[in-house]
Structures are given as structure tokens and as C-alpha cells.
Chains A and B, each alone.
Chain A
Amino acid sequence: MSTTSLWEYANPVKFMRLSGRVLPWFAGAAAVTLVAGLVWGFFFTPDDFRQGSTVKIIFLHVPAALVAINAWIMMLVASLIWLIRRHHVSALAAKAAAPIGAVMTVIGLFTGAVWGQPMWGTWWAWDPRLTAFLILFLFYLGYIALWSAIEDADTAADLTAVLCLVGTVFAVLSRYAAFFWSQGLHQGASLSLAPGTRMDWAYKAPLYVCMTGFSLLFIALLLAGTRTEIRARRSRALMVRERMYA
């Protein structure tokens, strides 16, 4: 088997080489797309006839929420890859994704509160969508805490991967439980693939640009974070060796 497969990039050396080369491009593309999308969204879209200019926070709120959820999905996939194929890069990528996802969750919750205040007259409501997001944040916290509590790197990778798997199931259960528990104020999903979506293209186009920008930002941060984790792991391994064979 001499074909080049995707798994080769699970090798730390190859990953470092490739990621070092593409990282500036992703970072640059993220910056350009975000500036373009946000400027377009904030200054070149009409006010909503009902919600006024407050609606424009959607250009931060929705992309952040999108990344917050997809970061967890990415962690789930990376955890599975680690458990099944034992590629260290994969485990470290999951570790690097968690803080990014947690921050995005906070951004989503914060922008939601800022938006909710003028719209619903309250900063916080126990709306199922909000609640589910708050719960997602708790899961991020637990995951990050477990990573930082365990010293041995492989043990930490194994245990956090198991937690991620079980946590995913319970996060999904919690989401449905939250929807069962309270019917909310929140509007339905902002974007839908089904025909007859409610949003005008004047909003949708810049929103898509912003979502692309946030996704690119996530990839750039993820690459940078994973590179940092790999370097930290490597320096630790070198120190252990030095101690053992001194």
C-alpha cells in the first residue's frame, strides 16, 4: 500500500509541516471573510421592519452558535479516531478544539442575551434553545477540566475521549429534555434548508459570509491550538527522557 492516505497527516511531523504551511492562509482568509461579512452585515443591510437594527447581532450570534456545536461534533469525531486508531494528533486536536468551542458557546449566549434584552425584555429566559446551549457550555467545562486534571497524556486522551462519547449522548438527551421541559420564546432555526425559509437574501448573503468567516476562524484557531499542544507534548516527552537517562 503506497497510496497517500489522509491518515498520513496523523503523523505529528507531517501534520506540523502541512499545518505550518496552510495556517497563515486560513488565518488570512478568516480575517478577510470576517471583516467583509461583518461590515456588510452591520452597515449595508436594511433594518428589519419589526426588530429594527438589533437584528444585526445575528451576524455574530448565529455563526458563533454554529461553530460552538460543530466544534463539539469535531471533538467527537477526533475522540473516536483516537480511540480506534490511536493517532496522537487526533487526541490533541480534540483537546485544542474544546476551549474554542467553549468560547464560541459563551459568545453565542452573550450575543443572545444582548439580542434578547430589547426583543423579549429580558437578558435571560429559560428558553429550551438557551438552556440547551448553557448545558453545552457545562459539558465543555467538564471536558476541559478532565483534560487539565490528568497528568499522563495518554490516560488523559483516553478518558476525555470516553467522556466526549458519553457526553455527546447525554448532551443530545439534554437538548430533547430541555425542549420537552419548556416551550420557548426563541424563534425557530434562523436558517433552514427546507423551502420557504423566512429570511430575506439581503440578510442571508452576509450571514453566509459571516458563517464562512467563523468556520475559517475556527479552523485557523484549531490548527494553531493543535500545533501548540503537539509542541507542548513534545517538550514534555523530551524532558521525561532527559530525567530518565540523565
Chain B
Amino acid sequence: MIALLARDLKLAFRAGGGFGLGLGFFLILAVLVPLGVGPEPRTLALIAPGILWVGALLASLLSLDRIFALDFEDGSLDLLATAPIPLEGVVAIKALAHWITTGLPLVVAAPVLGVLLNLAPAAYGWLIVSLLIGTPALSVIGAFGAALTVGLKRGGLLLSLLVLPLYIPTLIYGAEVVIRGAVGLPVATPLLFLAGITAGSAALLPFAAALALRVNLR
């Protein structure tokens, strides 16, 4: 299992692995929004939590189809499915690798982009906390979507259509934490819901994803 995680990280960081693409996308989004909305600081501060969360969502969506598609094409997925580690574990590890290479950099970069969007000072801590708790759910849900579409030729677009609706609860609670944090309201309730979604997804979705992978491999 550790070997699989190490391999996936190595592949992501080597040339052509696509590491940093999501981060670059996140940055561009945070630049484009003020250009579209206008430089008014109050407006930007108002929409900053939502933009940052939607940006994180889309950035992690970008690299989802690589989770299984590459292994499917070169035959590794067949071999992993016949290997002595459970396919559910493979899914969980690959989701974790996706989070480390996509979600974690977003958490680190988000405060910097918060400055660009004039995020309220009180909200920075909650932005980091909510992304830290919420982005793993994005990776696990995304891994499930990637497992559903792995055999398809043009799975990328379909993948977004399938995965984005599943992201809705995470988005709502995640952004709500930041919005409430910005104005000093208690954040415990949305934060708990967010953590619940992440925990539930991480516990259950690998099984659904493994089922979908087995169907796609046969």
C-alpha cells in the first residue's frame, strides 16, 4: 500500500505528471474573478469565500481523470486488481495521493489568493481549516467518479457532470465555514457537517469505487 502511494507520488512529481496544473488553474481563477467582477474591495471580500471554494473544487476536478485512466491504459489497473492488496485499498490510496498532490497545495495556496480577493482577516484561519477538512472529500468523491468513467473514451466531460453535483454538500458547508468565520459567527455546525461528509465519504466511497472498477475491468 505504501509502495503504491510512493509510486503515485513519484509519478505525479516527475516530468509530465501534471503536478501544479491544478494550482496554476486556482491562481488564474483568483485573478480572473476580480477582472470580471470589478476591483471594488467590499464586493470582492463578500464573494471571496465562495470563489476560493469553487476554485478549489474546479482545481481538484482537473486532475481527476488521471487517477485511474493512466493505470487503465497501460494495463497496471488489471495487474493491481489481481494483486494481493484489496481494490478498495487501491482506491483509498490513489485518492490520498490525489489529495496530497492536488488538495494539499490548494490549502497552502488559498490564503495567498485570499489576499488577492480581499478576504476578511478573521476568515484566513477558517479558510485553511475548512479546506484542510473538506478537500479530502473532494478527492475521494472524485476517485469514485473516475472509477465510474475509467473505461470511457471521452470520460473527462462526463466525469465533471457526474462529480460536480456530488460536490455540492461539501461546497455549501465548506464555504459556509469561511463566510461565518469572516464575520465572527460560530462555525462549529458547518465544520462538523463538513467533517462528517469527509469521514463518511472516505469510509464508504472506496467500496463503491472498487465495485465500479471491477465492473469496468471485466
Contact = CB atoms under 8 A, between A and B. Distances in A.
B194 to A, nearest CB: 10
B172 A177 contact: yes
Nearest to A139: B165
A180 B151 CA distance: 37
A112 B154 CA distance: 36
A138 B166 CA distance: 10
B172 A141 contact: no
Contact count band on A: 20 to 34
- The interface residues of chain A, by DSSP majority, are classed as helix
Given A155-B216, A180-B176, A174 B208 contact: no
B54 to A, nearest CB: 14
A173 B197 contact: yes
A120 interface: no
Given A138-B165, A180-B190, A165 B216 contact: no
B148 interface: yes
A140 to B, nearest CB: 10
B216 A180 contact: no
Contact of B169 (A149, A165, A167, A177): A177
A141 B197 CA distance: 23
B176 A162 contact: no
Interface string B86-102: 00000000000000000
Given A146-B148, A159-B148, A180-B193, A166 B166 contact: yes
A178 B172 contact: yes
A145 B211 contact: no
B173 interface: yes
Contacts of A177: 168-169, 172-173, 193
Contacts of B208: 162, 165-166
Interface of A: 135, 138-139, 141-142, 145-146, 149-150, 155, 158-159, 162-163, 165-167, 170-171, 173-174, 176-178, 180-181
13 contacts: A142-B162, A142-B165, A149-B154, A150-B152, A162-B211, A162-B212, A165-B208, A166-B166, A167-B165, A171-B165, A173-B197, A178-B172, A180-B193
Given A146-B158, A149-B158, A166-B144, 10 more contacts: A138-B165, A139-B165, A142-B161, A142-B165, A146-B149, A149-B155, A155-B151, A167-B165, A180-B172, A181-B176
